[in-house]
Structure 1
Amino acid sequence: MILLLMGHRGAGKSHVLKELQALGFPAAFFDLDQEIEKRKGSIAEIFENLGESQFRQIEQEILNDVVGNLKNENAVIALGAGFEGVTPKDAVKIWIRRESDVSGRIFLNRPSLEKDLSPLNEWEKRFHSREEKFKAEHDDVLTLPEGRWLVRKVLLEFFKTWMP
């Protein structure tokens, strides 16, 4: 089974991967943004030098490669917040949410996708279209608590229904 984690920037997709791995969840783990950076370099530089369209093409190619190299094993893959590509048809899409998604989170340590926008304006520009996409495509929703100490407990309960 392939579980795809989707959600806004900073919702906790990468954190969920790390926690599931630490808990011994029986799967291979991939963070698509990290895979892109390992293979192609900085996401910010790809956006700046090649543009978003080319980045999305690279993103799709790397997802296809990761999935294509799975050997009948369970996998959990964190997609980038703006992933627009085609996902494996039998994959389960889990929308990782936080209550603070609506009010916005600003990350100064994340690559800017549009240099002429402030982090808040960039978030505002992309939030609604991404929110609609997540609503339309998810198979299940996991709303993470804001306190880090609660996350592990929530993950144990939620994911045992997907891969006991």
Structure 2
Amino acid sequence: MRVFLIGFMGSGKSHWGRILQDALKINFYDLDSVIEEKENQTIAQIFESKGEEYFRRLEHETLDAMIQEHPEMILSCGGGTPCFFKNIDLMKQSGTVVWLNPAVEALVKRLVKEKEKRPLLNEVSDEALHSFILKKMNDRRIYYEQAHVHVEEDKATPASLIEQIVHA
């Protein structure tokens, strides 16, 4: 079983990934962490030194390699991962894609605290964060909505999430 967790940054992909790992006894990986280890740089440093295009290509190559290397895994993907190089199609063909979709207000509350770790938020003021998230979500929704499972996070429990994944 392969499970791909997608959603906007701050949507809880890593949180739910660890919960699913414990419940399903399947290894959990964070795609951004795998990339950081491979490049020996943070995502922010990669964006700054080599640009977003380089990062998106590297992200696609790493996603493909993870699929080839791990017949079973739970993978937390970056917020933009599904939106480039037909990654959403690759994930859908290779496992179950789960869209974590908390309320925008919850995302704002989480992301305002960790903007320095998020390259796309470096130049966004706290006051503009809500509007930025809404715009990006509207741009990405077409990809996120293709997921097999849609989860409104405030209604999810580990048992309900596992049931939805198993029955997807």
Shorter-chain-normalised TM-score: which range?
Answer: 0.7 to 0.9
Whether the 8 Å contact between 2:29 and 2:76 is mirrored in structure 1 is: yes
- Structure 2 SS opposite 1:10: coil
Residue equivalent to 1:77: 75
How many Å apart are 1:75 and its aligned residue? 1.5
Whether the 8 Å contact between 1:11 and 1:101 is mirrored in structure 2 is: no
2:47 is aligned with 1:37: no
Which runs of 5 or more residues in structure 2 are unaligned? none
Which runs of 5 or more residues in structure 1 are unaligned? none
- Structure 2 SS opposite 1:113: helix
Residue equivalent to 2:149: 140
Matched to 1:21, the amino acid is: Q
- Structure 1 SS opposite 2:101: strand
Taking the TM superposition and a 5 Å limit, the aligned residue runs for 1:1-164 are 1-23=1-23, 25-40=24-39, 41-70=41-70, 72=71, 74-83=72-81, 84-85=84-85, 86=87, 87-88=90-91, 89-98=93-102, 100-101=103-104, 104-105=107-108, 106-109=111-114, 110-113=117-120, 115-118=122-125, 120=129, 122-135=132-145, 137-145=146-154, 154-163=157-166
CA RMSD of aligned residues (A): 2.4
Over the matched positions of the two proteins, sequence identity in percent amounts to 24
Whether the 8 Å contact between 1:31 and 1:79 is mirrored in structure 2 is: yes
Q: Distance in 2 between matches of 1:30 and 1:103?
A: 24
Q: Distance in 1 between matches of 2:26 and 2:112?
A: 29
Write 1 or 2 for the structure with the bigger share of helix. Answer: 2
Say how many residue pairs are matched.
153
TM-score, normalised with respect to structure 1: 0.80
- Structure 2 SS opposite 1:9: coil
- Structure 2 SS opposite 1:8: coil
Which 4+ residue blocks in structure 1 deviate beyond 6 angstroms?
none
TM-score, normalised with respect to structure 2: 0.78
Q: Distance in 1 between matches of 2:147 and 2:66?
A: 21
